[in-house]
Amino acid sequence: MNQSTLAEFFLMGFSNDRDGQIMHFVMFSFIYLIAIIGNVLLVITVALNCPLHTPMYFFLANLSLSDICYISTTIPKSMAISLTDNKVITFTECVAQVFSIFTFAGSELALLTIMAYDRYVAICHPLQYSLILNWDACMQMAAASWLTCMIHALLETVVIFQWKFCRSHRIEQFFCEVPHLQEISCSDTRPSQILIFVIGSTFSSICCGIIFISYGYIFSAVLKIHSIQGKYKAFSTCIPHLIVFTLFISTTIFVYMRQKGSSSYIVDLLSAVFYTVLPPLLNPIIYSFRNKDIQKAMWNIGKKWASFPSLKIR
C-alpha cells in the first residue's frame, strides 16, 4: 500500500471492552470539563479585572488559551471513539492533530519562557519594568511565540507526513502520536528523525536556557533582599510558574527519554496522558491556589454573579 491509498488510521485507545470504554469516556469527560472550566475561568478573571491587566497576567491568559486548545486537540476525539466505538481517524484529521500538538505544546513552553523573563524583569529591574514590558512589547512577544510555534509545528508536520505508511493502519495510542506513526511507517525515518530532533531540541534548549538563566538572576536578586516579607513576596510570584514549568518539562522528559521498546501498552498510554492532559488540567489549579490576586478577583466575580438574581427580583 502506498501513501496515495492511505485515507485513514485506527486509534486503539484504552480499551476494546464496552464497560472499559464507558469508564474511559466518563473519566475523560470529567477531566476535560474541569480543564476547560478552569482555564476559561482564568481567562475571564484576567479579562474582567483591571488590577490584573498587567504583563504577567496577560501571558497567563495566553497560557490558558493555549491549554484550552492543547487539551481539545486529543481528548474530544478520544471520547468520541470510546462512546461510538468507531476508532477511525482520517489522514487529514491525523495531520491536523500532529500539527496542533506541536503548536500548542510549543506555545506552552514559549509562553512559560516569556513568563520567566517577565519575572526576571519585575524582580531584577523593577524600576524599568513598565518601560521594558510595555504593552507593545508584550503583544509582540505573544505574537512572536505563537507564530514561531506554528512555523515549528508546520516544519515538523511536513517532515513526518513525507513518510509512507504501509505496515499497518493501527496506532496503539489514543491520538496520532509521532513515535507510533514512526512504528507503522515503511519509510526510512532516520533522516527525518534526526531533523525533527534537531529542530525540537534547538527550540526547547533555547527556551529552557532562557528560563534557567532568568531564575538564576532571580534567585541571586531575592537572596540579597534583607526583608523576609520581601523575599516571600518575590518568591510567591515565581512559585506557581516554577511548578507549572517543572510539571510540563518533567512529563515531557519522562515520555521522550524512556526506552520505547521496554514500555508496555498501558505505560505508553499513561505517559501520553502525562504530557497532553495533566498540564492543561493542573495549570489553572496551580495558579488559582498559589496566587492571592487571582483568588481575590475570582471571589469578586463570584459575588457579582451571585448578586444578579437578587437585583432582578427587586
At residue 85, the pLDDT reads: 82
Task: Report the interhelical angle of 55-84 vs 135-160 (nearest 10°).
Answer: 30
At residue 4, the pLDDT reads: 37
pLDDT, tens digit, 9 for 90 and up, residues 55-75:
989 999 999 999 999 999 999
In the predicted structure, residue 312 carries a pLDDT above the cut 60: no
pLDDT category, 235, cuts 50, 70, 90?
A: confident
pLDDT, tens digit, 9 for 90 and up, residues 109-119:
999 999 999 99
In the predicted structure, residue 259 carries a pLDDT above the cut 60: no
Task: Report the interhelical angle of 265-276 vs 228-257 (nearest 10°).
Answer: 140
Give me the percent of the chain exceeding a pLDDT of 70: 91
**Cα 248 to Cα 258: distance, rounded to the nearest angstrom:** 16
At residue 1, the pLDDT reads: 37
Buried b (16+ CB within 10 A) or exposed e, 41-50: bbbebbeebe
In the predicted structure, residue 43 carries a pLDDT above the cut 90: yes
At residue 86, the pLDDT reads: 87
User: pTM for this one?
Assistant: 0.86
At residue 3, the pLDDT reads: 44
**Cα 132 to Cα 89: distance, rounded to the nearest angstrom:** 46
Among 16-25, 122-131, 229-238, which range has the highest average pLDDT? 122-131
Cα angle, residue 294 at apex, residues 290 and 296 outer, rounded to 5°? 110
pLDDT, tens digit, 9 for 90 and up, residues 132-161:
999 999 999 999 999 999 998 998 899 888
Q: CB atoms < 10 A from the CB of 137, how many?
A: 12
For residue 171, what are the β-bridge partners?
11
Chain mean pLDDT for the chain = 84
Amino acid at 209: G
In the predicted structure, residue 5 carries a pLDDT above the cut 70: no
pLDDT, mean of residues 23-31: 91
Task: Report the interhelical angle of 228-257 vs 278-290 (nearest 10°).
Answer: 170
The torsion of the CA quartet 295, 297, 299, 302, rounded to 10 degrees, works out to -140
In the predicted structure, residue 310 carries a pLDDT above the cut 80: no
**Cα 145 to Cα 103: distance, rounded to the nearest angstrom:** 10
The shares of helix, strand and coil residues in the chain, as percent rounded to the nearest 5, are 80, 5, 15
At residue 129, the pLDDT reads: 92
In the predicted structure, residue 228 carries a pLDDT above the cut 90: no
Amino acid at 114: I
pLDDT category, 189, cuts 50, 70, 90?
A: confident
Give the range among 36-40, 121-125, 175-179 with minimum mean pLDDT: 175-179
**CB 284, CB 38: distance < 8 Å:** yes
**CB 142, CB 59: distance < 8 Å:** yes
**Three cell numbers written together for 102:** 506541536
Number of residues that make up the chain? 314
At residue 132, the pLDDT reads: 93
Query: Does 298 or 88 have the greater pLDDT score?
Result: 88
